[in-house]
Structures are given as C-alpha cells and as structure tokens.
A and B are shown apart, each in its own frame.
Chain A
Amino acid sequence: MREACDLVVVGAGPGGLAAACRAAEVGLDVLVLDAQPEPGGQVWRGEARKGANRLARRWFTRFAASGARFRPGARVVAAPEPGVLLVEEGASSFAVRYSRAVLATGARERFLPFPGWTLPGVLGVSGLQVLVKDGLPIRGKRVVLAGTGPLLLAAAATIHAHGGEVLYMAEQASAASHWGFALQLWRHPARLLQGAWMSAALIRVPTSTDAWVIAAEGEGRVESVRLSVRGREEQLRCDYLGAAYGLVPNLEVARLLGCETSAGAVVVNERLETRVPKVHAVGELLGIGGVDQALVTGELAGLVAAEHPIPVELERAWHRVRAFAAQLARHDAPRAELRRLATPDTLLCRCEDVPMSALEGCQNLREARLYARLGMGACQGRTCGTAAQTLFGWPGEDVRPPCLPARIGSLRIPSDVSSTHTRES
C-alpha cells in the first residue's frame, strides 16, 4: 500500500497541526502521521475528546476544516530513500512518497537514574500526568513530584484536579534560577504553562527549589521517597513518585533522515529548513520551547513548505519564543548532583538490565553499547542514551533503521514505491 502527498507532517502535536493547517489552507495536499490514536501530541493529549483547552480546541477545529488528511496510529519506522517514508500502522504498513516534510516529533522526558527509579509506582512527571488523564485511579493517593520547570506544576495541577494528594514538589533548579525564570515567564505568551503555574499556586503544594529525589524505596513497589531538600534529607511515604528532569527532543526521525543535530536539537535556518533539502523541523526539535514555539514554528514551516510569504508578525513571534526557549533551557539544565545519585547496582538501561557498574572502563556510548548492551534493547536507548549523555557527557550515536522496533514486513518496500529497481536475487 502507498500514499503520496505534497507535504508529509510527522507528528500531530501543536507544531504538526499548525504546519498542516497553514500548508493545506493554501492548497497543498497534506498528510499528517502520528503514532497516537488522536491528534494533540503529548501536550494536548486527550483534548481532542474533552475539548477543555480553548487553544487546543481552536486548532483541532481548524485542522478538521483544513483539508489535511490524518493517519492516526501511524509510526514512521524507516526512510529508505529521499522522499519516501515507511510507516507501520497496526498490523499493516504503508509507504509515503512526499515532496516536502515537516518533522514535528516533539519531546520526551529526561530520566536520570537514582536508586529505586525502576520500582513500580515510579514514573515520569508528565508520564504520571498522562496516566492520570487517561484514567489511572489517583483519588486519595499520595504523590511526590520531583523534576524541573513548568511541567512539574502542570502535573501537580492535573493530579490535584483528579483527587490525588500531591505531598511535595521538588524543583531541582536553584532558588535564584527558578524565581528569576518564574518572573520572566509572565513576559511570554506561554498560555498553557501560565495556567498550570496558577493552578499549582492555588492548590498550595509544599514546594522547594534546590530539591531532588535521592532514592525511592519499597517492597515490590514504591512506598517512600528520600529527598534532598536544600541540603537536608527528608523522607516521605507515598503511593506514586513522578520524577524526571525536563524534556529532550525526539530526534530519531530527524536523524534517520540525515538531518544535522547540534547540542541536542535539529539545526535549521531561518526558514526552518534542516540540512536535508525539503525537510523542515519545528517545535521541540529546535530545543524545548513549549506550545507557543510549536505553534509559531509550525505555522512558519507550513507556509515555507507551501512557498507562501511569511507574515512579519509571525517572524517576530518566532524571535520571542526563541528567547523563552533559551531561558527554559538554562532553568531546566540538570544540576551536577543529579549525575551522582546512581549506585553501582542502579540500573541505567531497563530494557537490557544494565547496571551502572557494567559501564566500568567504557569511554563512550559506542563502548557502552558494545560491551554492556546499553541501549541495545526495545526502547533503542531512548531513555538510557539520554541519561548517559547527561551523566557522562557522551554524544549520541547515529540512528539506524528501524527507528522504532517494527515488524520486518513493515521494512519491506512495496514494489511500486521505490525509484530504485528491486529485482529478484
């Protein structure tokens, strides 16, 4: 099976939706792919059904009217040649032939290992928030959150709204950095984040800056958490711990296509073109910047892809969101103490059960992969590769196909798609 389009958009979060809308509205044949069953990405997860978020609702309505086609549950697994993507969709697969591409693959949480981080009941900050939104029974449960930045507040607000008891929020950033950032936040039109900030303030959760998880403890699942709070150690009994330190871009598809990355983000020019011709990157791929950056860059890339003029106000808006992204990066940068929490028997790679001690003598990520199997399992290093970069300063390795585990059948190229003649051997 195959699909053809003028523009393929990978990811249906705010960035992908904005790009798709702008391009489809001026006449491009646009195909949007997303691994999830609904549009919205992680930040607007579930909003397509609930419609509680006004901004999200506006974009969903616009997207529905734009003429762009949407394929939910579609995971890009390989890029066999320029202009072709192989996509797995449930038990079947198809190829997409495209003229241009906008990559809007968003971000994931940065997990850093500490003793007990693999216990059941220990999740990411946004990971726990997503589970609660999706129906995890949280009413009356005691929750500790540890991480950084606005996501912490957004998660606390959601958990509180669903009847969970947020016992504590540990913000790793220093007080100076944190409050400096919080004051800056009001200057930016970060609507969603501000909302979260306000709700969290209203629910009066005990919060501290300069605070992080030392260890999670419990028999079979998390029962208590030890925190470092401004140099003191505190212990809290809890049912859930959400612990993750900010976000990192999902670079896999971009790197699979051969896009250059630098300092953990895709390199683009003023027209959001990557170093690969006719491939654009938007949103979190440019460096974590939240919904506003995603929408602005998505709109920009959609217009550029359609070879349409760029309104001046959109360019100005981009410069504003870039300034916000730079502040966020400074605030969320994990502090040095977080790199020293894991003990020799703490697992770094959960897929392949690789403890920290197995990395003894390894000088780089390739050695850790080859000698200790770090990142060689099903998640392909999405969690531990990021942690190893943060812990040891090791740069990432090239992405090899498939960029997600995929059925071998999904890597087969339909004979009518490839421009290269495939012949019987």
Chain B
Amino acid sequence: MSAFDCVIVGGGIVGAALADVLSADGVSVALVEARSIGAGTTACGMGHLVAMDDNAAELALTSWSVSLWRELADGLPRAVEYDACGTLWLAADDEEMAAVSSKVANYRAAGVRAEVLDSAALHEAEPALAPGLVGALRVVDDAVLYPPLAARTFALRAQARGARLMTGCPVRELRPGSVVLSHGEVLTARHIVLAAGVASPALCPGLPISPRKGHLLITRRGAPVVHHQLVELGYLKSAHGTDGASVAFNAQPRVTGQLLLGSSRQPGDATREVDAALLERMLKRAARFLPGLDGLQALRVWTGLRPATPDGLPLLGPHPEKPWLWLACGHEGLGITTATGSARLVADQLLGRTSAIDARPYSPARFLTVSAREVAHA
C-alpha cells in the first residue's frame, strides 16, 4: 500500500495541471490514469484558451485561466504550440453585431482586452472569410495550444518533483481514504480528487455529467488559411441549446500551418464513430464562412466526448456527501482553457487558501445536496 497526501484520478489536462500545482506546493501526489496522459478528451479537443462571457462565473474562471496560461507560456516546450492568436467572434448580421457591443463591455469590465472590428477591418484581418460578414469582436489575449503535450508537460513536471505518475492504471473503486486500482493495488490518500472527465460518473455514481460528442477536422500542412481563432457568434445560440445535435463554425490556425475545423455537439451521445450526416452539416456550415474550404486537403476527422454539466460550469470542490472526495470534472468544452484556473481553485481549497476568484459558483453542492436534488425533481 502506498500513501499520498493526494491521489488524483484522471490524467487529462485538468488532473495533470492539478498534479503540477500541488507538487509545486510540496504536496505528495499520485496521478493515476487509465490509459495515457492527455490521451482522452484532452487529445480530442481544439485546444483553445478562450475567455467566454455567457455568465459572470464563466467569465471569471475563463479569463483568469487564460491569464494563468499566459504566465505559463514561456515555460512550455515549443512543441506545446502555444500561440496567442486571439479570437474573432464573427457577426453575420446586425443583430449579432449589436451583441458585439455588449460583449465588449463585459470583457473589458473583467479586465479582458477586447475590440470591435467593422466589416472592412475584419476582411483585412481575415481575407479568406466570406464577404458580407458585418464585423467581429476581437478578444486579443485568447490563444490556442496542443493539449496532449501540455498535459504531458504538467505531468512530467510533477513527476520531476517526486509525484508518482501511474499510466495504464484503470481505477476500480474510490473508497474513503483509498483508491483501488483494477490490478489490485491500493493507494491510500488523505485527499482523493476525481478528475476523470466523462469517466467520472462511473467512479462516483450520481454526478451530473453526461457526454456531449463533437467532431473535428484537420487539414494538411500548408500556408495559413486564417490568422485568428474564428468563431461565429451564432455559436452561442447553437452551442448552448442542450437538446438535439447542433453545429457551428469554429476554425483555428495551428503553428504547423494546419487548419483545425469544428464544431458539432451531440448531447448524450457516447459513441466514437464519425457521424457522416452531422459532419456534412458541420462542413456545409463552415463553407459558408470559408468559401475556399472544399478545396483544402483534409488529413483527419475524429470525434471526442465533452463532459457536460447541466449549467455548463465545472464541478470544482468537495463532494457534499463524501467529505473525503474532491471533484475536478465536468468541464465540457472548456477543459483546456480552464485547466489552469480549475487546478488552482481545487488546490487552494485542499490547502485551505483563499483563491483569486470566488469558488462558490463551481461548487458541486449546487447539484449534489439533498435540497438541490429535490429542486431538480420538482
């Protein structure tokens, strides 16, 4: 039996970032991963670091997390491909352009640099875009990176500080004070953190996390097609409807010269196969924004499963009914962005420190207390 201050279950970007933060504070850590570090949902996502302003809690966590990433960026290996390309939120009509103005105010109030581009400025910045877009919101400090290597970098840093890295180790059971591995080994721990993304409910039944499948496509290397991360403002409408499949235009330049293209959402779908009909919808949508799209060389199409919660915010903090268990899961499509902030929030709570932002909006107690459950069933 091995004893640790903290055993983290799940070696995705969130678990790895937490292992990095805790080990830097001298906490003895084991990071337990069923397969490989950063190889699950972490490896399937776009790797965007975006400040999002759907609600105050989301903006607080995402903007803080993006700034934490920026502080880390110089210490990341080049292969992590951190690129502060910024995001352009594209307005297709006057209604969406009106939303740009209120969003600029939101972002600026949160200390996030943002500016408005009119149609001419937009098409100068992104000549590959279809004519007719009325403008865009530019969020200056947003970035993209290559998530699996970011996760691996965190995990290896923790390992260098003495953390135990256990890959290829599925977990059979979480118990008060111990983690039982499939091959029988038992790890004892003062604290256990569940950071297993879509696999979390299997280890802690009742968690309000469900898979939300997405499709992505990447092109061959070539001259850059776009220069910012591009997202249609319509994304906000389509991405947050929870029922039925939806698509939205989302494109990213990679430092490799590749174009990474999304996005789709299929709530409750846990299959991994490419859904050809939905991919067709996604490509059709994207081609409206990038008229030259069909001529680009596609290299791969794949899917991934986002761990979605009912309110779109992650579960960060103690399990209200299991005081020995901490949760760091349910990040949906923002796990890469908020890995840095999530790791800090959970570490601060574990170590009894005050955080830079209010942790209460992300508390699992909002779903898992008796009263909340009654409300849900009412």
The answer to whether A81 and B300 touch (CB under 8 A), given A367-B36, A411-B283, A412-B294, is no
User: Are B280 and A412 closer than 8 Å at their CB atoms?
Assistant: yes
Which residues of B lie under 8 Å from residue A371 when comparing CB positions?
148-149, 152
The answer to whether A366 and B220 touch (CB under 8 A), given A405-B299, A407-B296, is no
Contact with A422, one of B36, B277, B293 (Cβ below 8 angstroms): B277
User: Are A411 and B301 closer than 8 Å at their CB atoms?
Assistant: yes
**Which A residue sits closest to B152, measured CB to CB?**
A371
User: What's the least CB distance linking A399 to chain B, in Å?
Assistant: 10
A425 to B247, CA, bound (A): 7
User: Are A380 and B299 closer than 8 Å at their CB atoms?
Assistant: yes
Residues of B within 8 A of A (CB): 35-36, 38-39, 43, 148-149, 152, 167-168, 217, 219-221, 238, 246-247, 274, 276-277, 279-285, 293-302
Which residues of A lie under 8 Å from residue B148 when comparing CB positions?
370-371
User: Are B167 and A363 closer than 8 Å at their CB atoms?
Assistant: yes
The answer to whether A412 and B297 touch (CB under 8 A), given A363-B36, A371-B152, is no
Interface stretch of the complex, out of A133-141, A145-153, A382-390, A413-421: A413-421
A413 to B284, CA, bound (A): 10
Enumerate A332-370 residues with CB–CB distance to B below 8 Å: 363-364, 366-367, 370
Question: 9 more A-B contacts (CB under 8 A) besides A401-B274, A422-B277?
Answer: A78-B276, A81-B276, A370-B148, A380-B300, A401-B301, A405-B297, A408-B219, A425-B282, A425-B284
A409 to B297, CA, bound (A): 9
* Chain A interface category by residue count: 20 to 34
Would you call A16 an interface residue if the criterion is a C-beta within 8 Å of the partner chain's C-beta atoms? Answer: no
Would you call A80 an interface residue if the criterion is a C-beta within 8 Å of the partner chain's C-beta atoms? Answer: yes
Which residues of B lie under 8 Å from residue A81 when comparing CB positions?
276
Which residues of B lie under 8 Å from residue A287 when comparing CB positions?
none
Which residues of B lie under 8 Å from residue A407 when comparing CB positions?
294-298
User: What's the least CB distance linking A220 to chain B, in Å?
Assistant: 24
Which residues of B lie under 8 Å from residue A380 when comparing CB positions?
299-300
Residues of A within 8 A of B (CB): 78, 80-81, 363-364, 366-367, 370-371, 376-378, 380, 400-402, 405-413, 418, 420-425
**Which B residue sits closest to A81, measured CB to CB?**
B276
**Which B residue sits closest to A415, measured CB to CB?**
B280
A207 to B247, CA, bound (A): 61
| A to B CB contacts below 8 Å, 16 in the list | A363-B36, A366-B35, A366-B39, A370-B149, A376-B299, A402-B299, A405-B220, A405-B298, A407-B298, A408-B217, A408-B283, A409-B295, A422-B277, A422-B280, A424-B284, A425-B281
A137 to B363, CA, bound (A): 73
User: Are B152 and A400 closer than 8 Å at their CB atoms?
Assistant: no
The answer to whether A418 and B277 touch (CB under 8 A), given A364-B36, A402-B301, A407-B296, is yes
Which residues of A lie under 8 Å from residue B167 when comparing CB positions?
363
Which residues of A lie under 8 Å from residue B296 when comparing CB positions?
407-408
Which residues of A lie under 8 Å from residue B39 when comparing CB positions?
366-367, 370
User: Are B294 and A409 closer than 8 Å at their CB atoms?
Assistant: yes
Which residues of B lie under 8 Å from residue A422 when comparing CB positions?
277, 280-281, 284
Which residues of A lie under 8 Å from residue B149 when comparing CB positions?
370-371
A424 to B282, CA, bound (A): 10
Contact with A400, one of B38, B219, B221, B300 (Cβ below 8 angstroms): B300
**Which B residue sits closest to A367, measured CB to CB?**
B36
Which residues of B lie under 8 Å from residue A78 when comparing CB positions?
276
**Which A residue sits closest to B264, measured CB to CB?**
A425
**Which B residue sits closest to A93, measured CB to CB?**
B294
User: What's the least CB distance linking A123 to chain B, in Å?
Assistant: 23
User: What's the least CB distance linking B38 to chain A, in Å?
Assistant: 7
User: Are A412 and B299 closer than 8 Å at their CB atoms?
Assistant: no
User: Are B297 and A406 closer than 8 Å at their CB atoms?
Assistant: yes
User: What's the least CB distance linking A370 to chain B, in Å?
Assistant: 4
User: What's the least CB distance linking A326 to chain B, in Å?
Assistant: 34
A371 to B37, CA, bound (A): 10
